[in-house]
Structure 1
Amino acid sequence: MTRSKLTKKRARLLAELEHLVGKNCYNGNIQNWGPGGVYEGKGRDFRYPLTMIDESGEKRRRKYPAATDVSPQMLATGYYAFGANRLHIIEALDDVLRHLETHHGLKL
C-alpha cells in the first residue's frame, strides 16, 4: 500500500472486512462425501486464504482467525493468490473505505 501508512484502527477494520470477504468463496466442482461414503452433493463453501509478506520477506498464509493481530505493515501486503494472479484484497478494501469517506461521509 503506497498511499499512506495504515493506523492500527484502520488495519483492524480492514482485517475484519477481509475475513468477511474471504469466507464467501464457493466451488461447485468440489464433491462432498460424508461419513460412511455417503454422497452429499456438489459444491462447497470455503475460506480463501490471505497471503501476507512478513518483515523477513517470508509468505504467511492465514485463514483463521482474522489477521487483526499482525502489524499494519504486514497486513498491507495482504492478497489472494489465484494461480499466477493476485487480488490485493487489503488495498482494494482500503480503496472502498477511502471512497466511502470521500463520497458518502463515512467517518472512521
Structure 2
Amino acid sequence: MLAQDPLQVAPAHYKLVFENEQVRVLEGRDLPGERIPMHAHPDTLMVVVAPFKRRLVLANGKTIAVDMKAGDTRWMPAQSHAGENIGDTETWAIFIEFKQPTTVPPGKPEPPRAK
C-alpha cells in the first residue's frame, strides 16, 4: 500500500488547522486501541498536547514504541508510517508539516527532549 495524505487516509483522526505556502498544520487525535493506516508526512515538527503511548510501524516494517509527555516536541524527517494507540489515554498532537524539504540531515526521528 502506498502511503498517503493523513487527511485522506484517516479523516476522522486528522484535522487541518492551518495552511499557507510554507506549512500545513494538522491536529491528530485517536483513542486507546485505535489504529491509523499507513500514511506519509513530509519533514514535520510534532508538538504533543497530551501524554500518549503509541506504536509506529515504518514503511520498511520496523516497529517503534513511543511514550510522549505533554509539551514534548519531536523532529520527524519525511516518513511513512502506520500507528496504533497502545496506551490508556487519547493521542493528541499538533503536526507542523513543512512543504519544502528542510536542511536537517536525514536520519531517525529525534527522541523526546528532557525537561
Larger relative contact order (Cα-Cα within 8 Å, sequence gap ≥ 6): 2
Relative to the length of structure 1, the TM-score reads 0.33
Larger proportion of helix: 1
Q: Which has the larger radius of gyration?
A: 1
